[in-house]
Every structure is written in structure tokens, then in C-alpha cells.
Amino acid sequence: MPLQEIVVGRDEDDRRKYGKKGSIYFGKHLVGEGEEANLTNPVHLDVARPHVSLVCGKRGQGKSYTGAVVAEEFFLLPEEIRQNLSMLMIDTMGIWWSLKNPNEKQISLLKNWGLEPKSFDASVYVPEGFEEDYRKENIPFDETFSIQASELSTQDWSLAFDISLTEPLGVLLERVMRKLVNKENYGIDAIIDTILDDNRASEDVKQALENRFLSAKEWGIFSKEGLSIEDILSPGKVSVLDVSYFGHLSSGWSVRGLLVGLLSRRIYRKRVEARRQEEMSTIKGRKKIDVPMTWVAIDEAHQFLPAEGKTPASGPLTTLVKEGRQPGISVMFITQRPGAIHPDAISQSDLIVSHRLTARPDLEALRNIMQTYMTFDIQEYINNLPRKKGSAIVLDDNSERIYAMKVRPRMSWHAGGTPDAFEDEEDF
């Protein structure tokens, strides 16, 4: 008797109409409890419609690995579907470049799953100001990225510098940005010149704000060209934005937040415009997609959309969560601390993939969204999982079901594993 394949992320109507078309191979269903559980039916994940998804689990349980599996599968989609999609991966740990290398370490494990080692042509972007550092460390990348200072708002800068708009520094910042509002494509130097030309603030305040913008110049992300969002959103493309190098900076998370916030705003604007054009072309009897539907995967997501406080990315990400489905934007939040991420990221998720969790605040965060179709407490579902990496439960609000599963092994190299002194092949 053939296995019944599971497609998560789809309601019953879509499953009957499309089967597994427009879905990716995600793993296998686990039947049984604990170490006695058996791998059974294939599990597929819908990518044809937009989703807000949360991938969580404590450190070392396979969260970033799971994100990379989704990226691998984008390359394996039929061309007619892949061309309607693109994917942007925000890499905070500097590990997803390894999509470019085949997983030769786990050949026998892959064979057991009917898979083989494979490399994938993901486009890796690194900060323009640190290009030489990446070359010296022999880290592979395709292109550099930068942004235009003129694209950032007063609010962006105040959050990045952690200053209030009601204090003297903030008042000066707002006045300076107002003077530059009608100028196009200005840089950090123009901002500094405007600060120094101000005749209302004290010298101490001007010097303090100038020093902050001088530090911003050292972030290595500002230029007059900036990153082309059209290039990132090319049909069928998977882009990896490596922001891990900013960990060397004291303001590293603020810089990352600026980038994620700016890109999220750009993606939203582009897809809203594209969706309008798609509707018009459909009315006229032809379907045309110039800017494909987009998946945005964000590692360490609680740092960008925290439960408490705000970052430069908070507002734009909240917009994607609440309004991104209509223009065709999917968001995948990846975090080891679901209790630290904004409640909207959890409550608005129609797909939750949870690897093992043990911290009370994190379990409580998931418990707060328990649905009527869950027979047991969330902790019981998680405790029944085998204690092996890659094991997870999937809460699918589309089909109103919950599954235990194991994510399939990666075909490309995994650069994010925990180092150890053993030489055994890791069983993911």
C-alpha cells in the first residue's frame, strides 16, 4: 500500500486540488513516542501560497538547519513554479554560505533517505566595507552589499543610536533630517556637514551626534549605489545576506536591524506594486509576474522583532507579519527563544515548527497559542519526540492538525553544527 504523503500549510480544498504540487520535501512523519518512534509518511511543505512561519527550538536542535533545507528545496522545484518565487535569507551566524558545498560528510545517511550530496547556487552577499576581510578568511561570496544613508528615516537612526527624539540629541537629529528630506541620495558626510552647520544646538550636542555618524561610517554598509532589491527578488533566486560580521561591532544588532528593516520595507513596496499589476493583467486575460512572491527567512529573529522594546526592523517586520500575505510575502522566523520574540510573530503564524524546547518562558509562549485541535499540552507533544536532532512537531493552522516529524538531512554542507572531538558521522 503506497504511503499517504502529508502536505502541511494547506487546507483540505488545496490538498484535493493540487496534491503535493507546489510543495517541497520537508521530512518524514514520526509515528510512536520517544526512541520507539518510526519514520513513516513523507512530509511536504506548501510554498505556493504565502505563510508566516516560526521555526524554534533550543540551541543545537536544528533550527538553522531546517531553514537551509527549505532553501535547498527551492532549487529543486519545477521551473514553472520556481520562477514565481524568490527567497532572501538573513544570515546572522555566517553559516548559510555552505549551501554552495555538497554534504560529503553524510553520504550514507543521505542514501538512507534516498538523497545524495548536492551543492546549490545560492547568491551570497557580504558587507561592502568588509570585502577584504571575507577574502582573507577565504569565505565564499558572490557580491557585496551596501545601502544608501538617504533611505533611512529619523526613526531608523534614533533606534540605531538608541537615542530619544525628545532629548537634545534627538531634537538635533530630527532637525538635521528635516533639512535633508528634499535631497536625493545623500551620504553620511552630508549628514555630518548639516549637523556642524546647525546654529541652534550646543557644541557638545553637535559633537556627540557627529561622533555617532562617524561611527556609522565604520559600519561598512553605506555607499551611493546601495543594494538592488530587484536583483535580490529575481525569479527563482535564493539570496543569502551575511550580516554575521557585524558581531564584531558594539552596535552590531542595530546595524543588522537597519538592514533588515530597510529591506523589509523595500520588499513590501515592490510586492504591493507587483500584486496590483498581477491583478490587472489577470483581469485582461493574461498572467504576468515580474517580481516573484518572496520568502524572507530570518535567523535569530527575536533580535529583530523582540517582545519588549523596538529595533529599526520592528515596524517593517510587523507590517510583513500582518499585511504580507496579500501581496505574496512569506516570513520564516527562526529563533531559539520564542518567549523573547514579539507575540504577533507567534499568534500570526499559520505554521509552527518546534524542535525540542525546555525553557519555561519559551514553552509558555507556544502554550499561549494552543489551538482547539491540540489534544494534549504543547510540552507533552515535545516530550514525546525522539531525542535526536531534527525531530520536531508541526502545528499546521491551515489543516488544523499537529504532526510529529523529522526534518530530512541536508544535501549541502552544514556549517552551523556544534564542534566536538568525535569523528563519527552525525545522525541528524
Instruction: Answer whether residue 421 is part of any domain.
Output: no
Same domain, 273 and 393: yes
- For residue 59, being part of any structural domain is answered with yes
- pLDDT at 419 (0 to 100): 54
Indicate whether 201 and 327 sit together in one domain: no
Domain boundary among the residues 217, 232, 260 is at: 217
Enumerate residues 6+ apart whose C-beta is below 8 A from 5.
20, 41, 42, 43, 44
pLDDT in tens, 221-250: 998 778 888 888 899 999 999 999 898 777
Residue 97 φ/ψ, nearest 5 degrees = -60, -20
Least confident of 62-66, 101-105, 423-427: 423-427
Same structural domain, 52 and 167? no
With a cut of 70, say whether residue 258 has pLDDT above it: yes
Q: Are residues 25 and 158 in the same domain?
A: no
Q: What's this model's pTM, rounded to 2 decimal places? A: 0.91
* Whether pLDDT at 422 is above 50: no
- Check pLDDT > 70 for residue 287: no
**Same domain (yes/no): 356, 289:** yes
Estimate to the nearest angstrom the gap between the alpha carbon of 402 and the chain centroid: 23
**CB-based contact 289:274 (threshold 8 Å):** yes
Q: Of 243, 286, 220, nearest to 94 (Cα)?
A: 243
Q: Is the pLDDT of residue 63 over 50?
A: yes
Please name which of 30, 43, 93 lies closest in space to residue 70, comparing C-alpha atoms.
43
Evaluate whether residue 187 is within a structural domain. yes
pLDDT in tens, 303-338: 999 999 999 999 999 999 999 999 999 999 999 999
Q: Looking at the structure, do residues 274 and 195 belong to the same domain, yes or no?
A: no
Where is the domain boundary, 158, 191, 217? 217
16 & 105 share domain: yes
Regarding whether 91 and 164 lie in a shared domain, the answer is: no
Boundary of a domain, candidates 217, 246, 266? 217
Max Cα distance, the chain (Å):
82
Q: How far apart are CA 392 and CA 407, in angstroms?
A: 7
- Identify whether the C-beta of residue 332 lies closer than 8 Å to the C-beta of residue 297: yes
**361 and 276, same structural domain?**
yes
Whether residue 1 is contained in a domain is answered as no
Same domain for 212 and 292, yes or no, is: no
Q: Which long-range contacts (CB under 8 A, 24 or more apart) does 195-199 make?
A: 198/172
pLDDT of amino acid 376: 74
- Please indicate, yes or no, whether residues 231 and 361 belong to a single structural domain of this protein: yes
In this structure, of 91-95, 142-146, 228-232, 343-347, the range with the lowest mean pLDDT score is 228-232
Residue 202 lies in a domain: yes
117 within a domain of the structure (yes/no)? yes
Q: Is residue 422 part of a domain?
A: no
* 354-382 pLDDT, tens digit each: 999 989 899 888 887 766 666 678 888 88
* Number of domains the chain is built from: 2
Helix, strand, or coil here: 222? strand
Are residues 52 and 82 both part of a single domain?
A: yes
User: What CATH number does the domain containing 245 carry?
Assistant: 3.40.50.300
What pLDDT sits at residue 423?
A: 47
Question: Looking at residue 142, what DSSP letter applies?
Answer: S
Q: pLDDT above 70 covers what percent of the chain?
A: 93
Q: Is residue 412 part of a domain?
A: no
Mean pLDDT of 393-403: 92
Range of the domain at 211: 149-217
